[in-house]
């Protein structure tokens, strides 16, 4: 038989696929537990807005028609909300799509792509698949070290990924530091700011102090691409919708590699409705802020250190190899996320749940770590 691996491109040959959180069904099947709790993929425990669900249901009748390939109505809503023009927006099947488009447009074989250590696993995967060279810049206190990042820029640097807040660490950068960094970069270096947790970090009162409005910067820095998603705070992870905002010329380039109809009609309708539900978004963010407090207090009671987070998840240091703790939690019916593959072998990343979920998880964790 043909050895197809030898036919794959060099980048793909060395790739390991992205590891998602364990699905609930799989845990229940394999471990014989029931009523499992999944706190592993930063999903919104409140679920989607009822307005989004109703909109999705209405559109089901029309799925024999192709969706609007330009997503006009959703783009119009995003443009108004973000104070940008429609030609700056690229819609995606999740924000993973525009992240990939940016790489496909700007990264050639041999180009260098920078990202922080302990940041989102998709960045090195996309880079390597494109034949680029991914460089993980050492972090400072688990977060992105902008000075080290600046020092790592070379002639070959094509693109820099910065997740703000960062997944899995929950760390964040303030506007002054981040804008200073972008200002000093050569304008030929693309910067992709991944704002998957924007709604949590930007929320008045509970978000991050000095969290920037990066979309307002795109005019000043045309090498900037900002991505956001409906998967996290909007509770639409299963429908796959996200977008980027960039200079119109960059958006036009990304549009060249975008598969036609990459956002389906149900997702478009649900996302439009979700944007209008300010109350649901506020409830989600406020519940998350309370849950973060609950978890931090719980960890302190257990004598465990954690990394302060402004996302809907938090990394806790279990004070030993985390893999067996993760396994033991599975037997308790609780799925969290091991992050050894992010260079964090003693941490677990835990999504903030409802107050009841959080108590269940803390009880299971206590049982496991005091064994």
Ligand X SMILES: *Cc1c(COP(=O)(O)O)cnc(C)c1O
CB nearer ligand X, residue 217 or residue 342: 342
Residue 181, interface with ligand X (CB under 6 A)? no
Instruction: State the minimum distance, in angstroms, from the CB of residue 200 to ligand X.
Output: 11
For residue 265, give every residue at least 6 positions away whose Cβ sits within 8 Å of its Cβ, in sequence order, or none. Answer: 59, 62, 63, 65, 66, 67, 68
The b-or-e profile of 185-224 (16+ CB within 10 A means b, else e) is beeebbbbbbbbbbbbbbbeebbbeebbebbebbeebebb
Tell which one of 101, 106, 115, 120 touches ligand X (CB under 6 A): 120
Q: Which residue intervals of the chain are DSSP H helices? A: 4-7, 10-13, 24-31, 50-60, 72-82, 96-106, 122-129, 146-152, 175-184, 198-201, 248-257, 265-276, 278-301, 322-331, 355-369
CB nearer ligand X, residue 149 or residue 196: 196
Size of residue set near ligand X by CB under 6 A:
14
Instruction: State the minimum distance, in angstroms, from the CB of residue 166 to ligand X.
Output: 7
Tell which one of 55, 126, 162, 196 touches ligand X (CB under 6 A): 196
Residue with tokens 């993760």: 326
For residue 169, give every residue at least 6 positions away whose Cβ sits within 8 Å of its Cβ, in sequence order, or none. Answer: 118, 119, 139, 142, 143, 307, 309, 315, 344
CA 187/CA 346 separation, integer angstroms? 39
Residue 43, interface with ligand X (CB under 6 A)? no
Tell which one of 45, 94, 235, 353 touches ligand X (CB under 6 A): 94
Tell which one of 44, 49, 96, 169 touches ligand X (CB under 6 A): 96
Tell which one of 231, 265, 288, 294 touches ligand X (CB under 6 A): 231
User: Within positions 324 to 343, which residues make up the interface with ligand X, using CB under 6 A?
Assistant: none
Instruction: State the minimum distance, in angstroms, from the CB of residue 207 to ligand X.
Output: 16
Instruction: Choose the stretch contacting ligand X; rule: CB under 6 A; options: 25-33, 89-97, 209-217, 291-299.
Output: 89-97
Structure tokens at 333: 């019916």
Instruction: Choose the stretch contacting ligand X; rule: CB under 6 A; options: 229-237, 257-265, 314-322, 359-367.
Output: 229-237
What 3-state DSSP class applies to 54?
helix
CB nearer ligand X, residue 42 or residue 358: 42
Spatial CA neighbour of 340 closest among 320, 363, 358: 320
Tell which one of 45, 132, 143, 242 touches ligand X (CB under 6 A): 242
Instruction: State the minimum distance, in angstroms, from the CB of residue 370 to ligand X.
Output: 31
Residue 237, interface with ligand X (CB under 6 A)? yes
Instruction: State the minimum distance, in angstroms, from the CB of residue 105 to ligand X.
Output: 18
Structure tokens at 103: 């790489």
305-307 and 313-317 beta bridge pairing: antiparallel
The radius of gyration of the chain from alpha carbons, rounded to an integer in Å, stands at 21
Tell which one of 194, 199, 272, 332 touches ligand X (CB under 6 A): 194
CB nearer ligand X, residue 284 or residue 364: 284
CB nearer ligand X, residue 42 or residue 127: 42
Residues 46, 235: contact at Cβ < 8 Å? yes
CB nearer ligand X, residue 239 or residue 334: 239
What 3-state DSSP class applies to 173?
coil
The helix or strand, by DSSP H or E, that contains position 116, with its residue range, turns out to be strand 112-116
Instruction: Choose the stretch contacting ligand X; rule: CB under 6 A; options: 13-21, 92-100, 218-226, 340-348.
Output: 92-100
CB nearer ligand X, residue 332 or residue 342: 342
User: Within positions 145 to 164, which residues make up the interface with ligand X, using CB under 6 A?
Assistant: 163
Spatial CA neighbour of 137 closest among 167, 168, 107, 116: 116
| Residues at the interface with ligand X (CB under 6 A) | 42, 94-96, 120, 163, 167, 194, 196, 229, 231-232, 237, 242
């Amino acid at each position: 038989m043909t050895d197809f691996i030898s036919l794959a491109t060099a980048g793909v040959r060395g790739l390991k696929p992205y590891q998602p959180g364990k699905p609930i069904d799989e845990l229940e099947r394999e471990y014989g537990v029931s009523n499992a709790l999944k706190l592993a993929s930063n999903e919104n425990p409140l679920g989607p807005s009822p307005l989004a669900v109703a909109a999705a249901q209405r559109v089901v009748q029309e799925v024999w028609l192709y969706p609007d390939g330009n997503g006009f109505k959703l783009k119009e809503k995003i443009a108004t909300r973000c104070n940008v023009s429609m030609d700056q927006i690229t819609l995606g099947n999740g924000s993973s799509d525009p992240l990939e488009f940016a790489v496909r447009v700007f990264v050639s074989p041999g180009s260098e792509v920078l990202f922080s250590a302990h940041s989102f696993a998709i960045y090195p995967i996309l880079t390597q698949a494109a034949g680029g060279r991914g460089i993980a810049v050492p972090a400072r206190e688990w977060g992105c070290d902008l000075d080290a990042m600046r020092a790592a820029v070379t002639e070959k640097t094509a693109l820099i990924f910065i997740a703000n807040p960062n997944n899995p660490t929950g760390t964040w950068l303030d506007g002054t530091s981040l804008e200073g960094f972008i200002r000093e970069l050569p304008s030929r270096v693309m910067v992709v700011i991944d704002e998957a947790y924007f709604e949590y970090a930007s929320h008045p009162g509970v978000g991050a102090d000095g969290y920037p409005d990066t979309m307002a910067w795109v005019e000043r820095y045309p090498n900037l691409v900002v991505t956001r998603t409906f998967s996290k705070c909007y509770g639409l992870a299963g429908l796959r919708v996200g977008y980027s905002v960039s200079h119109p010329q960059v958006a036009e380039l990304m549009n060249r590699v975008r598969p036609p109809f990459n956002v389906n009609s149900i997702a478009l309708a649900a996302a439009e409705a979700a944007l209008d539900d300010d109350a649901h978004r506020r409830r989600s963010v406020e519940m998350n802020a309370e849950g973060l407090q609950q978890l931090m207090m719980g960890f302190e009671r257990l004598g465990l250190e954690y990394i302060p987070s402004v996302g809907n998840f938090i990394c806790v240091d279990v004070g030993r190899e985390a893999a067996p703790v993760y396994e033991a939690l599975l037997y308790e019916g609780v799925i969290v996320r091991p992050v050894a593959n992010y260079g964090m072998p003693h941490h677990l990343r835990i999504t903030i749940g409802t107050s009841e979920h959080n108590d269940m998880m803390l009880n299971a964790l206590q049982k496991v770590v005091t064994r």
